[in-house]
Amino acid sequence: MIKRNPISCGIFEDVDTARRYDRESRARTRSISKSFASVAREWEITDGKVLDVGTGTGWLAIEFAKEIPGVEVIGLDLSGVALELARENARESGVSSRVSFEIGDAEDMLFENDMFDLAISSNTLHLVKNPVRMLDEIQRVLKPRGVFLVSDLRRSWLGILSKHLRASYSPGEVKDLLGQSKLKSWELRDYFFWLSISSKR
């Protein structure tokens, strides 16, 4: 196992970088959204408010809203540049009436307690400075019966090929982070390229 090498989360400071990521991430994000929506349906989530933490250019929020038409989705991200693209993507996808975006910090959300029925996040955990704080914030903004779905890259020897893989966590490290967090109930699943964290049902 290679050593973790954290990277800055400021990857969307300019429009060109954001647009390149936007083009490259759409297909991958569609697959993730279908997986998240499948689990949400198993949990009988067909309406309510959903929070997408670290939304980037918005495709996870957009595709999830298309998969489950009864939900309202709010995407949260630190990058104003990315969020402008996210709003453009939502308009072009015909979901802007149900999908909105707000600038904000995953570690210090401005939302009130007990707001969301579901929180989702993909490939953000390894980018934040304090992942335990992000997990705590997710728990805080969820309703008492709210649930969450988080996926992130899994660090492995393939990290020699990608700075994001080098910056990601091992299964053991994620388990430690979860144990330190205020999340009430969680399940960690270990796949070859990624890790999945979800509410335990």
CB atoms within 10 A of CB 122: 25
Angle at 17 between CA 16 and CA 23, to 5 degrees: 90
142-182 residue pLDDT tens: 999 999 999 998 876 454 455 556 677 899 999 999 999 99
Dist CA 157 CA 155 (whole Å): 7
**pLDDT at residue 2 tops 80:** no
CB atoms within 10 A of CB 161: 9
Lowest-pLDDT range of 131-135, 144-148, 171-175, 191-195: 191-195
* Mean pLDDT for the stretch of residues 127-143: 96
Q: Which residue has the tokens 């914030």?
A: 137
pLDDT of residue 113: 98
In whole angstroms, what separates CA 86 from the centre of its chain?
A: 14
Question: When comparing pLDDT for 20 and 92, which is higher?
Answer: 92
Domains and CATH numbers, the chain: 15-144 (3.40.50.150)
Question: When comparing pLDDT for 24 and 13, which is higher?
Answer: 24
**pLDDT at residue 133 tops 80:** yes
pLDDT of residue 69: 97
Using DSSP, state whether 183 is helix, strand or coil.
coil
* Mean pLDDT for the stretch of residues 77-100: 96
pLDDT of residue 156: 63
- Burial class, 82, CB count within 10 angstroms (exposed 0-12 / middle 13-18 / buried 19+): buried
Q: What is the rounded average pLDDT for all residues in the chain? A: 89
Can you list the pairs that 161-166 forms with residues at least 24 positions away whose Cβ atoms lie under 8 Å?
163/5, 163/7, 164/7, 164/123, 164/126, 166/2, 166/4, 166/5, 166/7
* Mean pLDDT for the stretch of residues 82-99: 96
